[in-house]
Amino acid sequence: MAVDISQIRHFLAVADEGDWSRAANAAHVSRATVQASVAELEELRGEKLVREVVPAGAEPDAKPLVELTAAGIAYRPAARAAVAKAPAPAAKAGGRAKASKGRGRAPVVKGEPKPFKKRQGR
């Protein structure tokens, strides 16, 4: 299995932000997606790239920071070069969803009289 460019982009987002949630917001994906992508990249490379560290003197329930390991620091320039060479991500289709016209509308069939709206029951 080859390394996907989105995995590298997610790794760089984590490296830049230092937090899973902020990296997910920067990449416009869920936190679980970023964590899974980085885990797959680590598995493919065979080395740990990031680790979670609780700051010294922090409360026991403090949110851990994400920092790069020595292997992650060494891989970062190569990752940036790979992203620079890769084509830009395609724009996602978007726009406004059309409002529902409601239920019970029959389609107009050529050659048939137009369906009329049923009266509301009492």
CATH number at residue 37: 1.10.10.10
What's the rounded Cα separation, in Å, for the pair 20 and 10? Answer: 10
Give the closest residue to 51 by CA, choosing from 68, 64, 29, 36. Answer: 68
- pLDDT band, residue 101 (cuts 50/70/90): low
- Is residue 77 situated within a structural domain? yes
Which residues contact residue 113 at a Cβ distance below 8 angstroms, ignoring those fewer than 6 apart?
A: none
- Is residue 111 situated within a structural domain? no
Q: What is the pLDDT of residue 24?
A: 93
Question: pTM of this prediction?
Answer: 0.70
- Is residue 113 situated within a structural domain? no
77: pLDDT strictly greater than 70: yes
Residue 18: domain span: 5-55+62-85
40-72 pLDDT per residue, tens: 999 999 999 999 888 777 777 778 889 999 999
The domain total for the chain is: 1
